[in-house]
Chain A
Amino acid sequence: GEDVEQSLFLSVREGDSSVINCTYTDSSSTYLYWYKQEPGAGLQLLTYIFSNMDMKQDQRLTVLLNKKDKHLSLRIADTQTGDSAIYFCAENGENTGFQKLVFGTGTRLLVSP
């Protein structure tokens, strides 16, 4: 079955870079995603990467994918206090053709001034 693991907490200072890591098990996943959840709110898609890519950059966000090790990371450059939230990685499990997201355990990012 699918399993997606993340470290639970990350604490950084404003202006530093943050790197959130994720490991997944389903090698057939076509897409891998990063979602952000702010307190009391639903999830918001930050970015996603297609499985035949190694890297994707979108403004302050850089996603790295190592398919061999089934490792995904999200780097946030120049982290701001507004980036404090829970970050979930997700894989599109079971390759059914449907978007059946399997979410990681979530990483709580705390950015201090």
Chain B
Amino acid sequence: DTAVSQTPKYLVTQMGNDKSIKCEQNLGHDTMYWYKQDSKKFLKIMFSYNNKELIINETVPNRFSPKSPDKAHLNLHINSLELGDSAVYFCASSQDHRGSYEQYFGPGTRLTVT
């Protein structure tokens, strides 16, 4: 049973399109995260939700909009895709927002914008 799952695994699309990436965790965790990993493997947090409430919102263009319909799901919608959005996007979850709790990562979604 996969703990943190993401769909799709690969996404190839053209500039200007709108796309969504879905994330689900079956661990009963309260906190979920979205990270972006660029081609040089640099990993940076984008958003975090705790009990469906947004708690971390980094300096991300407002073309990126996260949505948490319930505690187990955190989706990422991206409008007007740009070449620079090409990256691997990782979802993660932790039991709660405190530092002592491990983050469990999904397998990633490789987004390629052409």
- State whether A42 touches B41 (Cβ < 8 A): no
- State whether A45 touches B102 (Cβ < 8 A): yes
By secondary structure, the A interface counts as strand
Of B13-21, B70-78, B91-99, the one contacting chain A is B91-99
* A105 CB, nearest partner CB in chain B, Å: 6
B44 at the binding interface (Cβ < 8 Å): yes
| B39-53 contacts to A (CB < 8 Å) | 40-45, 48, 50
B90 at the binding interface (Cβ < 8 Å): yes
A113 at the binding interface (Cβ < 8 Å): no
- State whether A99 touches B42 (Cβ < 8 A): no
Chain B interfacial residues counted at CB < 8 A: 26
The residue that B45 contacts in the complex, of A45, A101, A106, with Cβ under 8 A, is: A101
C-alpha gap A41/B90 in the complex (Å): 10
Of all chain B residues, the one with the shortest Cβ separation from A90 is: B43
- State whether B31 touches A41 (Cβ < 8 A): no
| B58-114 contacts to A (CB < 8 Å) | 90, 92, 94, 97-103, 105-108
A103 at the binding interface (Cβ < 8 Å): yes
The residue that A43 contacts in the complex, of B31, B43, B99, with Cβ under 8 A, is: B43
The residue that B48 contacts in the complex, of A37, A40, A88, A100, with Cβ under 8 A, is: A100
* B108 CB, nearest partner CB in chain A, Å: 6
Given contacts A97-B98, A98-B55, contact A43 B42 (CB under 8 A): no
Residues of B within 8 A of A43 (CB): 43, 90, 92, 103, 105
Residues of B within 8 A of A103 (CB): 42-44
A84 at the binding interface (Cβ < 8 Å): no
A86 at the binding interface (Cβ < 8 Å): yes
**Which residues of A come within 8 Å of B, CB atoms?**
30-31, 37, 40-45, 48, 50, 86, 88, 92, 97-103, 105-106
